[in-house]
């Protein structure tokens, strides 16, 4: 069980551990002494209140404390508070309860800004406490059962803390899905997770199996699934508030394992390919917290699900697929499968005429070459919508950076035998040519943004604040923020 995360105005007497936020100005020996902290001991550990510094100590009143550095007071923002809370929660694994009076570090905040800070602290606490132990035979039960976000503020702050806790839980759910191996989380099992969420959150859901997928002529999904013994699924989910202010469509790539197909990946290249459903996981994570955030717009999710395998009748390089809208695609590399299943999903999304579309996909290794594993790429057919998506990501603390969709690169995906080919003729720019391919399937006039999360869906380094090894749940928070603030973009 993950710890309960609650708000209190003062540090509860029962808290086993108390976090003490310390800025660099407060990190001097004199200032630490004034806070009742053992200055010499902390100095010996190199603690000076710098960002991310953390140390355990006993305060003069006998309290066990965890000191967390926040850097310069003027630079503290919600992302920094989320980060600090995550570090504390992770470091508090061995106590039953911890109190986080981090709002004290931002005395100037009030109203909405205070509530947002409280929400970010709760998010960080929930994310930092995350463990993935499903496959350990003897996982020690986590001891930490209660995290108290301490600080001024009434009902509004308490509600923000509760909301932050639910957002973190939804993001952790997405991390669980990404971390579950391809042999366990089959397309059928992933669709079953969607059904569970839909029941809990009272959402409309349609799950298409092989027969319905064929009836709807989802040729991309069928073509990718052809090499697998696992059945494909196509999941459509919808959140419908009373009088919606518009419709937002979310599309998520749901490749439960990507072997590359006949254009097979290397052993090394396949090791993390259980994460290739990170886009669908983000969309499902969004729906898992949709009632907590209660957006005023309708939100419809489209998730094509299959693995990409290479049995005796797998799609062969050179095969031509006919997508949902009749476009024919020459498959020259079966490892460029994401765009094939997304093409059908974007057609279906477009047919429903939403006010805007966002897709999330672990689409190209090239995006990690360009931006690394902390920053996603955003590509769009509409500048205005792109900046809206990007600013939601700025607020949620998930980083992204734009790449263009250059018209003169479009001929690189012209085929000699069909309407399109699924890989570029030209070297380089793989994230952009993949984006140009997707763009072909978005109906003209619908603002659309494609977020390539191949780098950001997975974190391979060690624990770092809200990140731990494995699935990151990238996208859950930004989709919730985007829906919460959505109004149909002007065209």
Q: Which residues bind ligand BES (CB under 6 A)?
A: 258, 276, 333, 335-338, 362-366, 423, 430, 454
Query: Could you write out the DSSP letters of every residue in 463-474?
Result: -BTTB-SEE--T
- Residue pair 70/49 in contact by the 8 Å Cβ criterion: yes
- The residue among 276 and 481 lying less far from Zn ion, judged by its C-beta, is 276
- Residue pair 255/276 in contact by the 8 Å Cβ criterion: yes
Neighbour tally for 469: CB within 10 Å:
14
To which H or E segment does residue 330 belong?
strand 328-330
- By CB under 5 A, is residue 307 in contact with Zn ion? no
Out of 106, 213, 255, 356, the only residue in the binding site for Zn ion (CB under 5 A) is 255
**Whether residue 339 lies in the annotated active site:** yes
Size of site (CB under 5 A) for Zn ion: 6
- By CB under 5 A, is residue 258 in contact with Zn ion? yes
Triad 468, 470, 473: Cα angle to 5°: 85
| CB 411, min distance to ligand BES, A | 16
Out of 276, 398, 466, 481, the only residue in the binding site for Zn ion (CB under 5 A) is 276
Neighbour tally for 145: CB within 10 Å:
14
Query: Two tokens at 332?
Result: 């020259």
- The residue among 362 and 380 lying less far from ligand BES, judged by its C-beta, is 362
| CB 1, min distance to ligand BES, A | 31
Site for Zn ion in 322-361 (CB under 5 A): 335, 337-338
- The residue among 27 and 223 lying less far from Zn ion, judged by its C-beta, is 223
- Residue pair 102/21 in contact by the 8 Å Cβ criterion: yes
- Residue pair 207/295 in contact by the 8 Å Cβ criterion: no
- Residue pair 186/144 in contact by the 8 Å Cβ criterion: no
| CB 361, min distance to Zn ion, A | 8
- The residue among 24 and 179 lying less far from ligand BES, judged by its C-beta, is 179
- The residue among 366 and 476 lying less far from Zn ion, judged by its C-beta, is 366
- By CB under 5 A, is residue 289 in contact with Zn ion? no
* Binding partner of residue 123 among ligand BES, Zn ion, none, CB cut-off 5 to 8 Å per kind: none
* Binding partner of residue 109 among Zn ion, ligand BES, none, CB cut-off 5 to 8 Å per kind: none
Say how far apart CA 174 and CA 195 lie, in whole Å.
15
Pairing of strands 470-471, 458-459: antiparallel
**Whether residue 74 lies in the annotated active site:** no
Residues forming contacts to Zn ion in the complex (CB under 5 A) are 255, 258, 276, 335, 337-338
Give catalytic residue positions.
Answer: 265, 339
């Amino acid at each position: 069980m993950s710890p309960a995360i609650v708000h209190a105005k003062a540090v509860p007497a029962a808290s086993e551990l108390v976090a003490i936020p310390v800025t660099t100005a407060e990190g001097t020996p004199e200032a630490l002494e004034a806070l009742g902290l053992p200055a010499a001991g902390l100095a010996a550990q190199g603690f000076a209140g710098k960002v991310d510094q953390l140390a355990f100590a006993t305060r003069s009143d006998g309290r066990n404390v965890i000191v967390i550095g926040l850097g310069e007071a003027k630079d503290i923002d919600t992302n920094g508070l989320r980060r600090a809370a995550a570090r504390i929660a992770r470091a508090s694994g061995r106590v039953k309860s911890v109190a986080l009076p981090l709002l004290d570090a931002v005395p100037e905040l009030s109203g909405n800004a205070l509530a947002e800070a409280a929400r970010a602290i709760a998010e960080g606490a929930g994310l930092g406490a995350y463990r993935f132990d499903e496959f350990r035979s003897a996982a020690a039960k986590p001891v930490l059962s209660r995290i108290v976000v301490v600080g001024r503020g009434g009902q509004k702050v308490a509600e923000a803390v509760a909301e932050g806790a639910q957002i973190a839980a939804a993001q952790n759910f997405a991390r669980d899905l990404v971390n579950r191996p391809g042999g366990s989380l089959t397309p059928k099992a992933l669709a079953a997770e969607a059904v569970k969420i839909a029941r809990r959150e009272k959402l409309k859901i349609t799950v298409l199996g092989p027969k319905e997928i064929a009836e709807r002529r989802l040729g991309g999904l069928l073509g990718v699934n052809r090499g697998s013994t696992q059945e494909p699924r196509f999941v459509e989910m919808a959140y419908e508030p009373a009088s919606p202010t518009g419709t937002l469509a979310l599309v998520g790539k749901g490749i439960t394992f990507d072997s590359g197909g006949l254009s097979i990946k290397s052993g090394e290249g396949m090791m993390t390919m259980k994460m290739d459903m990170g886009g669908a996981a983000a969309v499902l994570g969004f729906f898992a917290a949709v009632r907590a955030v209660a957006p005023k717009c309708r939100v419809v999710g489209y998730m094509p699900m299959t693995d990409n395998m290479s049995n005796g009748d797998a799609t062969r390089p050179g095969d031509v697929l006919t997508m949902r809208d009749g476009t024919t695609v020459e498959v020259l590399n079966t490892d460029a499968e994401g765009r094939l299943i997304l093409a059908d999903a974007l057609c279906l999304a477009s047919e429903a005429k939403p006010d805007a579309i966002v897709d999330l996909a672990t689409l190209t290794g090239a995006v990690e070459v360009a931006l690394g594993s902390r920053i996603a790429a955003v590509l769009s057919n509409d500048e205005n919508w792109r900046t809206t998506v990007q600013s939601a990501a700025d607020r949620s603390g998930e980083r992204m950076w734009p790449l263009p969709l250059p018209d003169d690169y479009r001929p690189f995906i012209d085929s000699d035998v069909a309407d399109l080919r699924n890989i570029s003729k030209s070297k380089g720019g793989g994230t952009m040519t993949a984006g140009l391919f997707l763009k072909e399937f978005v109906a003209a006039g619908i603002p659309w943004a494609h977020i390539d999360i191949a780098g950001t869906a997975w974190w391979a380094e060690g624990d770092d604040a809200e990140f731990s090894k494995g699935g990151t749940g990238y996208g859950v928070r930004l989709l919730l923020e985007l829906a919460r603030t959505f109004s149909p973009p002007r065209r």
